[in-house]
């Protein structure tokens, strides 16, 4: 019931662009070399009118408002790689389009800003939320039938973005702020924006570290995870055996230990459901929830892959 509802919702959104899932020219292709559609038909702004079912803005983002769409598009394919094969082809087209609008580079650093359908230059601000993207790009290399050059391109982009996301944690507390701005010129730097210096202990970067570790086995991702765990213990853990962890108001407080005045009176549920889970999985053997047999939804709940080769007896839905 719920799977069908999710599939129908995705189909409806895709029809708002020019990626109609019923199109035979897309569904029948046997590789990821599809003919390009016009850019406008592959862009999906973050806001849709609830009754009219039309886009009501031109804001393009892989941060707040837009992140889950791209992630779900890929993961719905990975859950059902045969009957939802068209989503892989469409995901590649949409991904190319959105990155052309939001991907920016400055002084060798790659970031994900916000764009619009009418602009070619992204904003020079990146939300920590967008740090799910390195993991998503890397995960796409697992899609069946992906050509080698496409996998290499995806992984290169994933690791470049991941470097930026890990740099966000180069703060006094060892935790990342909610949003960063990228300044060019003589004093070029990446710094937390004035109103977004707080940390909610978000999971996106450690989620990407987990996926990249599983797929590349590069030690820097586990090293990052261990530094993050130590920073959480040092900067966010409250005193007392029954105490939890708090968000902090400013990731750069001038001291290595966060004072009580810098703590926020909140601990978001995603900290336990996602941040700690991905930290745990980062140091688990690959046999624990292997990525070729399980797909994690946007809230880190593992779902078993529903279809496995050779897909005998199955027919596209």
Name the catalytic one among 71, 127, 178, 204: 178
Contact 234, 159 (CB under 8 A): no
Classify the C-alpha dihedral 145-305-142-201 as positive or negative.
positive
DSSP string, 83-102: TTHHHHHHHHHHHHHHHHHH
Q: Which two tokens stand for residue 3?
A: 């799977």
DSSP state, residue 57: -
Phi and psi for 46 in degrees, rounded to 5?
-80, -15
How far is it, in rounded angstroms, from Cα 239 to Cα 220?
A: 31
DSSP state, residue 248: B
How far is it, in rounded angstroms, from Cα 284 to Cα 312?
A: 33
Count CB atoms within 10 A of the CB of residue 284.
Answer: 11
Q: Which two tokens stand for residue 82?
A: 């045969």
Instruction: Output the 3-class SS for 186-232.
Output: CCCEEEECCCCCCECCCCHHHHHHHHHHHHHCCHHHHHHHHHHHHHH
Is there a catalytic annotation at residue 178? yes
Task: Tell which residue, 282, 277, 245, 286, has the closest CA to residue 264.
Answer: 245
CA distances from 315 to 27, 82, 294 (A): 12, 8, 22
CA distances from 3 to 89, 97, 154, 186 (A): 20, 27, 27, 52
The secondary element (H helix, E strand) that includes residue 179 is strand 179-183
Contact 164, 126 (CB under 8 A): yes
Contact 267, 245 (CB under 8 A): yes
What is the set of active-site residues? 178
């Amino acid at each position: 019931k719920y799977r069908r509802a999710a599939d129908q919702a995705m189909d409806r959104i895709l029809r708002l662009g020019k990626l109609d899932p019923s199109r035979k020219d897309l569904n029948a292709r046997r590789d990821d070399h599809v003919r390009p559609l016009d850019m406008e038909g592959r862009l999906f702004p973050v806001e849709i009118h609830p009754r009219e079912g039309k886009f009501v803005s031109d804001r393009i983002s892989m941060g707040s408002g837009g992140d889950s769409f791209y992630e779900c598009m890929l993961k719905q394919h990975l859950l059902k790689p045969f009957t939802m094969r068209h989503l892989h082809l469409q995901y590649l087209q949409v991904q190319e389009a959105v990155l052309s609008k939001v991907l920016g580079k400055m002084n060798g650093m790659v970031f994900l800003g916000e764009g619009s359908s009418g602009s070619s230059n992204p904003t020079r601000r990146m939300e920590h939320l967008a740090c799910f993207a390195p993991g998503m790009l890397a995960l796409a290399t697992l899609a069946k039938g992906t050509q080698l050059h496409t996998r290499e391109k995806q992984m290169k982009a994933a690791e470049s973005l991941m470097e930026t996301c890990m740099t966000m944690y180069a703060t006094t507390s060892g935790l990342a702020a909610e949003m960063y701005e990228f300044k060019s010129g003589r004093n070029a730097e990446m710094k937390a924006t004035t109103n977004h210096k707080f940390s909610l202990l978000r999971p996106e970067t450690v989620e990407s570290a987990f996926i990249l570790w599983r797929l590349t086995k590069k030690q820097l991702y586990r090293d990052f995870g261990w530094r993050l765990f130590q920073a959480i213990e040092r900067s966010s853990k409250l005193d007392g055996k029954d105490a939890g962890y708090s968000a902090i108001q400013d990731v750069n407080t001038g001291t290595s230990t966060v004072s009580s005045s810098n703590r926020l009176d909140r601990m978001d549920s995603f900290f336990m459901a996602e941040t700690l889970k991905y930290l745990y999985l980062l140091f688990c053997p690959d046999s624990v929830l292997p990525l070729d047999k399980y797909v994690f939804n946007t809230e880190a709940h593992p779902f078993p892959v529903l279809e496995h080769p050779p897909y005998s007896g199955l027919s596209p839905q």
